Chains A and B, each alone.
Chain A
Amino acid sequence: MVGIRLACGKMILRILIALIFLVAGVLKLRDPLAFSDGIAAFQIFPAWIINPMAMILPYFEILTGLGVLSRRTRSAAALAACGLSACFVVLYASALARGLDVTCGCFGKWEILQASTRVGFVRAVVLLGLSVWIYLSRMPEKWRDGRCAVPR
């Protein structure tokens, strides 16, 4: 019973992480200009890399989100989520240290999802924690056929 609850909890977390990356990726695709301004606001990247990042990163986030949902690609996608989240944490920590007020453009122009640098940092740390937990936690074999296990 405890095993099934844990499996359900893990599945919900995976869906949550997948949704975060999918929503963030799709919203960035809708407004790449706002995202490139968001990247530039960190004042850390040279001009030649900002727009290519704004073109490529949304697709990488979408693929990461989709990958977390698939059993075959889950481990790699969780590792990618760890890498992305770690980058966000470093970027926000750097912005905080330099006293920059940045909105990353993580969610396009959706003002309601924008956040101050401090809130963005906390959000990135939480996302990193969840991603690491999902990557490190291997679902034991005996729970794989439980009610919440993702079908092979």
Chain B
Amino acid sequence: MSWVARDIALIAAAFAASVVLGISTNVLRRVPLPMLYKNPEARVLSAVSPAAAITSGEPEVLEYKVAVQTWKASAALFVDARNPPFFEEGHIPRSINLPRDSIVQAGSIAALADKARPLVVYCSGEDCDDSRIVAKGLLAMGYSKVSVYSGGWEEWSASGSPVEK
């Protein structure tokens, strides 16, 4: 067997081993990946309600000025949709952390017990989609006053507004 054929045979063996390892260890995971991929929005919506894609609407989008006024007046609970390490590095004061993949736990968070309470969801900034996804998930879960602060953490922290660590 030439060395190229030997290399290809070894690669095929490594790939076969990877298939076996990948599929078998996935089954053993606490939360296995399903075989069919769903995008984050579909994952969140199907996690909160099977009919969520039909029932949930689009959340209202708040600009910075409105978000600051809302925060100053304590007129809404701010929800940080980023992952915990980023929340711990700094967040809007009095906000709670609810990453998109933990949205099913929203019902067990005391601050979210009242579904009529106004909520403002934010994430990193304009390029991040998690605030919209979490907001849509919350709407699907029955929260009635959910909006998105689109500027997010980048705009808030850059504008010199209060931050909490």
Assess whether A2 is interfacial by the CB under 8 Å rule.
Answer: no
Closest Cβ of chain A to B145, distance in Å, is 29
Assess whether A114 is interfacial by the CB under 8 Å rule.
Answer: no
Q: Quick one: given A36-B33, A47-B36, A101-B127, are A59 and B7 in contact (CB under 8 Å)?
A: no
Q: A59 is contacted by which of B8, B18, B33, B38 (Cβ under 8 Å)?
A: B18
Residue of A nearest to B26 (CB): A55
Closest Cβ of chain A to B97, distance in Å, is 15
Closest Cβ of chain B to A53, distance in Å, is 9
How many angstroms from the CA of A52 to the CA of B9 in the assembled complex?
Answer: 22
- Does more than half of chain B's interface fall in helix, strand or loop, or is it mixed? helix
Assess whether B10 is interfacial by the CB under 8 Å rule.
Answer: yes
Query: Does B3 lie within 8 Å of A56, measured CB to CB?
Result: no
Chain B residues numbered 1-58 whose CB sits less than 8 Å from any CB in chain A: 3, 6-11, 14-15, 17-19, 21-23, 25-26, 29, 33-40
How many angstroms from the CA of A51 to the CA of B39 in the assembled complex?
Answer: 11
How many angstroms from the CA of A64 to the CA of B10 in the assembled complex?
Answer: 10
Q: Quick one: given A55-B23, A109-B83, are A63 and B17 in contact (CB under 8 Å)?
A: yes
Q: What is the interface size of chain B, counting residues whose CB is below 8 A from a CB of the partner? A: 29
Closest Cβ of chain A to B29, distance in Å, is 8
Of A51, A64, A73, A75, most buried by chain B (CB within 10 Å of CB) is A51
How many angstroms from the CA of A32 to the CA of B30 in the assembled complex?
Answer: 12
CB-defined contacts of A52 to chain B, threshold 8 Å: 22-23, 35
Residue of B nearest to A138 (CB): B3
Assess whether B155 is interfacial by the CB under 8 Å rule.
Answer: no
CB-defined contacts of A60 to chain B, threshold 8 Å: 14-15, 18
Query: Does A80 lie within 8 Å of B14, measured CB to CB?
Result: yes
Q: Quick one: given A63-B17, A80-B11, are A51 and B37 in contact (CB under 8 Å)?
A: yes
Query: Does A63 lie within 8 Å of B37, measured CB to CB?
Result: no
Closest Cβ of chain A to B101, distance in Å, is 7
Of A54, A76, A101, most buried by chain B (CB within 10 Å of CB) is A76
CB-defined contacts of B11 to chain A, threshold 8 Å: 76, 79-80, 83
CB-defined contacts of B14 to chain A, threshold 8 Å: 60, 63-64, 67, 76-77, 80
Assess whether A115 is interfacial by the CB under 8 Å rule.
Answer: no
How many angstroms from the CA of A101 to the CA of B126 in the assembled complex?
Answer: 13
Closest Cβ of chain B to A34, distance in Å, is 9
State the 10 A-B residue pairs at the shortest beta-carbon distance, nearest first. A76-B10, A55-B22, A50-B37, A56-B22, A59-B18, A76-B7, A60-B18, A63-B14, A59-B21, A47-B37
